Structure 1
Amino acid sequence: MKEMLKRQLQETGKYMMQNDLAWGNSGNISARIDDNSFLITASGTYLGDLDLEDFAEYSIEAKKCLTNGRKPSKEIPMHQAIYEMRPEIGAVLHSSPLYSMLIASSNIDIPSALFVEGMYYLERIERVAYAHPGSIKLGELVKEKAKKANILLLENHGVLVYDTSIKEAKMALQTLEMACKMLVISRKAGVVLQELPADVVQSFLHESGYKPRRSWES
């Protein structure tokens, strides 16, 4: 199980780098092992070239590292908050891709009803006020919003995307970056984007045969 998750995270790191969803040594990714633990990339790792030793196992309940060796990413408080508040979540991706970072550093809202993938993957987006990376404060802010969305814009920091599996989280991250890119380019070009009506969105989400939608806090 752990070996399989490590390999999936390795592939995800490469995917993120190859698709401009991460850069340099920024970003950290994790995957749930069971109800009480998750794997997370080690501090200072490069997502495009992860080794099997570049992960640390962390206890959700004990709030401590369960393995010797590499030190886990300092962004543990954010990942911990998501897994603690959302038991159905299987993976968390933190990154700062260009267009998503532009929007996270602005007061622009991201429309989720521009295209099919947006309606599906960007159903709920929330903003999280800036707090220093890796801080307990940031973990607390993420915890407050964890049940309200599946995508968090970390102001002047990056984005946090989480879903039931690594694959779903990866697709949500790429969809987010595409939506933000469309938004930035359309504004520069003077193109007015038209969102689908709310009733069409609801019809798509509940009647199109996709997986059942999540229950959200108001």
Structure 2
Amino acid sequence: MNKARPLIEAGRYMLTNHLAWGTSGNISIRLDTDNMLLTASGTFMGNLLPEDFVEFNIHSAEYRGSKKPSKETPMHSEIYKRRSDIGAILHSSPFYTTLIACSNETILSNLFIETMYYLENVAYVDYFHPGTSELAEAVSKQSCNANIVMMRNHGVTVFDDTLNDALMRLETLEMACRMIITAKSAGVEFNKIPDHVVSSFLEESRYKPRKKLII
């Protein structure tokens, strides 16, 4: 299953770079209008094999593969249904991101170039049990307002046009969360980029064309 290769590499990258751990998390890519390829239930993110993936129809819920789809399949399906532009979804629980998700700390986007771009739209949902229809509904609903959804006391789900873009968004988030926690513990105050400079940066595509929300 050659189409699984990018996801296999993404899982290994996530584990190596502390963006995932063990079997915590699930990832997918859109194959076409109706189908996605996602990790099966209970798969180890750093050692994924071709048989660890399931091809799943987001409309009929039919699937092909030797294993059961991830318990978070409903969440992936609903995001793809609501966001026609999305090509990849990553759900994981990186340490610093999850620490923020378990607190009342605010994620800052006006710190540096990548945070201005990748963290422009961040939404939050309350805690719901993993794999439930309530979680899928809450996250997919917020996907209309953001490209990152923080899941309280759980982790995060990020999505983007491509797998590489989604990985960059997740890694930028984890770095920002690490900076926020480290700065707070060390008593360091940030010099934040002014709002008008952030607006200029985004509107004039001084990094890359602004990611628009397409519903």
3-state DSSP of counterpart to 1:176: helix
In 2, are the aligned partners of 1:149 and 1:216 still within 8 Å (CA)?
A: no
1:61 to 59, 77, 82: 59
**DSSP 3-state at the match of 2:31:** strand
Per the alignment, residue 75 of structure 1 pairs with 72
Contact 1:148 1:216 in 2 (8 A): no
Q: Root-mean-square deviation (CA), in Å?
A: 1.3
Q: Within 1, Cα distance between the matches of 2:23 and 2:95? A: 14
Cα gap change, 1:99 to 1:106, in 2 (>3 Å): same
Distance 1:188 1:131 in 2: 30
Q: Where does structure 1 lack aligned partners over 5 or more consecutive residues?
A: none
Paired position in structure 2 for 1:3: 2
Determine the structure 1 residue equivalent to 2:49.
51
**Quick one: distance in 2 between partners of 1:68 and 1:139?**
22
Contact between 2:87 and 2:161, CA under 8 Å: does it hold in 1?
A: yes
Selected match of 2:161 from 164, 167, 183: 164
Residue in 1 that maps onto 2:183: 186
Tell me if structure 2 keeps the 8 A contact 1:150–1:163. Answer: yes
Q: What's the TM-score once normalised by structure 2's chain length?
A: 0.96
* 2:38 alignment partner, SS class: strand
User: 2:148 — aligned with what?
Assistant: 151
Are positions 1:137 and 2:134 aligned together? yes
Secondary structure of 2:170's aligned partner: helix
* Distance in 1 separating the partners of 2:57 and 2:130: 20
Structure 1 CA distance for aligned equivalents of residues 118 and 135 of structure 2: 24
**What do residues 56-86 of structure 1 show as CA deviations (whole Å, max 9, x unaligned)?**
0111111x13204111100111111210110
Letter of the 2:15 counterpart: M
Q: Percent identity?
A: 48
Q: Which residue of 2 aligns with 1:126?
A: 123
Contact between 1:56 and 1:65, CA under 8 Å: does it hold in 2? no
- Name the CA distance, whole Å, in 1 between partners of 2:80 and 2:209: 21
- Structure 1 counterpart of 2:2, one-letter code: E
Following superposition, the deviation at residue 206 of structure 1 comes to 1.7
Give the superposition deviation at 1:13: 0.2
**Is the deviation greater in 67-76 or in 26-35?**
67-76
- Does structure 1 conserve the Cα–Cα contact (< 8 Å) formed by 2:53 and 2:65? no
Q: Note the alpha carbon deviations across 1:112-151, whole angstroms, 9 max, x for none.
A: 1100010111110011110000001101111220110000
Q: Distance in 1 between matches of 2:70 and 2:62?
A: 11
1:14 to 8, 12, 24: 12
CA distance in 1, matches of 2:17, 2:28: 19
Cα distance in 2 between the residues matched to 1:151 and 1:42 = 22
Q: What is the TM-score when the length of structure 1 is the normalising length?
A: 0.95
SS of residue matched to 2:136: helix
Is residue 203 from structure 1 mapped to residue 203 from structure 2 by the alignment? no
Name the CA distance, whole Å, in 2 between partners of 1:168 and 1:65.
28
Distance in 1 (CA, whole Å) between partners of 2:207 and 2:93 is 32
Please give the alpha-carbon distance, in whole angstroms, between the structure 2 residues aligned to 1:31 and 1:165: 8
Match of 1:24 in 2: 22
Is the CA contact (8 Å cut-off) linking 1:82 and 1:143 kept in structure 2? yes
Deviation at residue 216 of structure 1 after TM alignment: 7.1
Q: Distance in 2 between matches of 1:9 and 1:215?
A: 24
Give me the whole-angstrom Cα distance separating, in 1, the residues matched to 2:6 and 2:160: 15
User: Which residue in 1 is equivalent to 2:89?
Assistant: 92
